[in-house]
Amino acid sequence: MDNTLRNLVIRRPNPSDARGVYELIRDSQTLDLNSAYAYLVLCDYFRETCVIVEVGSRVVGFLSAFRSPLRPDTLFVWQVAVAGSHRKQGISKRMLTYLLTKTAGPPITYLEATISRSNLASTRLFTGLAKAHDVPIEVTTGYQTELFPMEIQHEEEPLYRIGPFTPQP
């Protein structure tokens, strides 16, 4: 095992993490870079459903999610990012497991996320999660390219819906 994982800390974020999160997403080159302010709000108001992984003082992983206001038993996973230097070590799976097992409030019955076809890491993460928990996974239309500004030519983002998970005893 990579010895850096022994120094790995997985925790909820706080506003002081937002700069490191912004830089992680910027350097990932696979995700949509949101504003620095958006990451501040996520690390502050949405910290109960977000996860940080740090090695030493460096943010190497970030997962953002929130409960759907319309369906509180459903968690929408917004972004999952792992630094290039720390990929293929199970960090994204550990963040998702942390989210599923340590999120306060009503049990999480469904996970939803949109994943572009080029985001193979997240596709594998979510299909693997459904298989590991032996729960259904449904892929539907999600956000089509036409919903994004023409000039950015954004990939379509199919919607993945996983569940129902049975509540952990």
**Total residues found in the chain within this entry:** 169
**How open is the CA angle 131-134-138, to the nearest 5 degrees?**
70
**Cβ distance to ligand 9YT smaller for residue 76 or 165:** 76
52: alpha, beta or left, given left = phi > 0 and alpha = psi -120 to 50? beta
Contact between 77 and ligand 9YT per CB under 6 A: yes
The correct pick among 31, 41, 139, 159 for binding ligand 9YT (CB under 6 A) is 31
Q: Does 139 bind ligand 9YT (CB under 6 A)?
A: no
Q: Of 55 and 122, which has the nearer Cβ to ligand 9YT?
A: 122
- Is position 65 an interface residue for ligand 9YT (rule: CB under 6 A)? no
How far apart, in whole angstroms, are the C-alpha atoms of residue 33 and residue 101?
A: 27
What six digits make up the tokens of 121?
């890491």
The correct pick among 43, 53, 99, 115 for binding ligand 9YT (CB under 6 A) is 115
Task: In angstroms, give the least distance from the CB of 6 to ligand 9YT.
Answer: 26
Q: Does 103 bind ligand 9YT (CB under 6 A)?
A: no
Residue whose CB is less far from ligand 9YT, 103 or 116:
116
Helix (H) or strand (E) holding 120: helix 120-133
- DSSP per residue, 139-159: EEEEE-GGGS-GGG-PPPEEE
**Least spacing, CB of residue 23 vs ligand 9YT, in Å:** 15
Q: Is the peptide bond before 13 cis (omega within 30 degrees of 0)?
A: no
Residues that bind ligand 9YT (CB under 6 A): 31-32, 77-80, 113-116, 122, 157
